[in-house]
A and B are shown apart, each in its own frame.
Chain A
Amino acid sequence: MAFAMSANAIVESILQVLSAGILIGCLYGLMCTGLGVIFGVMRVINFAQGDLMMVGMYTAYFCFTAGLSTVLGAYAGAYVAVLCAGPALFALGYLIHLFLVSHVSGLRAIQHEGEGHHAQLMLTLGVALVLQNTGLILFGSEPKAIQTRLSSSAWALDAFDDVSVFVNKSRLLAAIISVAIAVALFAFINRARIGKSLRAAADNPQAAIYMGIDVDRAHRIAFALGSAATGIAGGLVATFYPFQPYIGFEYVIVMYAGVVFGGMGSIAGAFWGGLAIGLVQQLSTLLLPIQLQNTAIFVIFLLVIFLRPRGFFGRVAERT
Chain B
Amino acid sequence: MLEIRNLTASYYGLVALSNVSIDLGTHDFVSVIGPNGAGKTTLFKTISGALEPDAGSIKLLGQELRLVRPCDRPHLGIAHVPEGRQVFATMSVLENLEMGAFTAAGQQAWKDSLDLIFSTFPILAERRNQLAGTLSGGEQQMLAISRGLASKPKLLMLDEPSMGLAPAVVEQIFERIRDIHHETEISILLVEQRVMEAMRLCRHGYVLESGRIRLQGSYDVLSQDDGIRRAYLGL
Chain A residues close to B by CB (< 8 Å): 193, 196-197, 199-200, 203-204, 206-215, 315-320
Would you call B90 and A199 a contact (CB within 8 A)? Answer: yes
A-B contact pairs, 20 of them (CB 8 A): A193-B98, A196-B95, A199-B88, A199-B91, A203-B89, A203-B90, A207-B86, A207-B88, A208-B99, A209-B49, A211-B147, A212-B71, A212-B75, A212-B102, A213-B99, A213-B102, A214-B72, A316-B131, A320-B89, A320-B133
Nearest opposing residue in chain B for A215, CB measure: B71
- Complex CA gap A63/B132 in Å reads 46
List chain A residues, Cβ under 8 A from B133: 317-320
- With contact pairs A317-B134, A318-B133, A320-B133 given, residues A209 and B71 touching in the complex (Cβ less than 8 Å): yes
Nearest opposing residue in chain A for B101, CB measure: A211
List chain A residues, Cβ under 8 A from B71: 209, 212-215
Would you call A210 and B48 a contact (CB within 8 A)? Answer: yes
B70 within 8 A of A: yes
Would you call B86 and A317 a contact (CB within 8 A)? Answer: no
- With contact pairs A200-B88, A319-B89 given, residues A211 and B50 touching in the complex (Cβ less than 8 Å): no
Given contacts A208-B99, A319-B89, A320-B85, 7 further A-B contacts (CB under 8 A): A204-B87, A206-B50, A207-B86, A212-B73, A212-B75, A318-B89, A320-B89
List chain B residues, Cβ under 8 A from A315: 90
List chain B residues, Cβ under 8 A from A204: 86-89
- With contact pairs A207-B88, A211-B151, A212-B151 given, residues A317 and B131 touching in the complex (Cβ less than 8 Å): yes
Would you call B147 and A206 a contact (CB within 8 A)? Answer: no
- Complex CA gap A320/B131 in Å reads 12
B103 within 8 A of A: yes
List chain B residues, Cβ under 8 A from A211: 74, 99-100, 102-103, 147, 151
- Complex CA gap A316/B92 in Å reads 12
B80 within 8 A of A: yes
Nearest opposing residue in chain B for A217, CB measure: B71
- Complex CA gap A199/B98 in Å reads 12
Would you call A320 and B87 a contact (CB within 8 A)? Answer: yes
Q: A270 CB to closest chain B CB, in angstroms?
A: 15
Nearest opposing residue in chain A for B103, CB measure: A212
- With contact pairs A196-B99, A213-B99 given, residues A206 and B82 touching in the complex (Cβ less than 8 Å): yes
List chain A residues, Cβ under 8 A from B79: 210
Total A-B residue pairs with C-beta atoms closer than 8 Å?
86
Would you call B85 and A200 a contact (CB within 8 A)? Answer: no
Would you call A196 and B86 a contact (CB within 8 A)? Answer: no
Enumerate B35-90 residues with CB–CB distance to A below 8 Å. 48-50, 69-75, 79-80, 82, 84-90
Would you call A197 and B99 a contact (CB within 8 A)? Answer: yes
- Complex CA gap A32/B22 in Å reads 51
- Complex CA gap A50/B80 in Å reads 41
Q: B13 CB to closest chain A CB, in angstroms?
A: 16
Nearest opposing residue in chain B for A265, CB measure: B90
- Complex CA gap A318/B95 in Å reads 16
Nearest opposing residue in chain A for B74, CB measure: A212
List chain B residues, Cβ under 8 A from A203: 88-91
Q: A37 CB to closest chain B CB, in angstroms?
A: 15
Would you call B87 and A210 a contact (CB within 8 A)? Answer: no
Nearest opposing residue in chain B for A208, CB measure: B99
Q: B77 CB to closest chain A CB, in angstroms?
A: 10
Would you call A212 and B72 a contact (CB within 8 A)? Answer: yes
List chain A residues, Cβ under 8 A from B80: 210
Nearest opposing residue in chain A for B72, CB measure: A212
Q: B154 CB to closest chain A CB, in angstroms?
A: 14
- Complex CA gap A93/B173 in Å reads 45
List chain B residues, Cβ under 8 A from A210: 48, 74, 79-80, 82, 86
List chain A residues, Cβ under 8 A from B70: 209
List chain A residues, Cβ under 8 A from B147: 211
- With contact pairs A209-B50, A212-B71 given, residues A319 and B90 touching in the complex (Cβ less than 8 Å): yes
Q: B58 CB to closest chain A CB, in angstroms?
A: 16
Q: B127 CB to closest chain A CB, in angstroms?
A: 13
Would you call A196 and B89 a contact (CB within 8 A)? Answer: no
Closest 7 CB pairs of A and B: A317-B133, A212-B74, A207-B86, A203-B88, A210-B80, A214-B71, A320-B89
- Complex CA gap A92/B129 in Å reads 37
Nearest opposing residue in chain A for B132, CB measure: A317
Q: A123 CB to closest chain B CB, in angstroms?
A: 24
- Complex CA gap A211/B150 in Å reads 10
List chain A residues, Cβ under 8 A from B75: 212
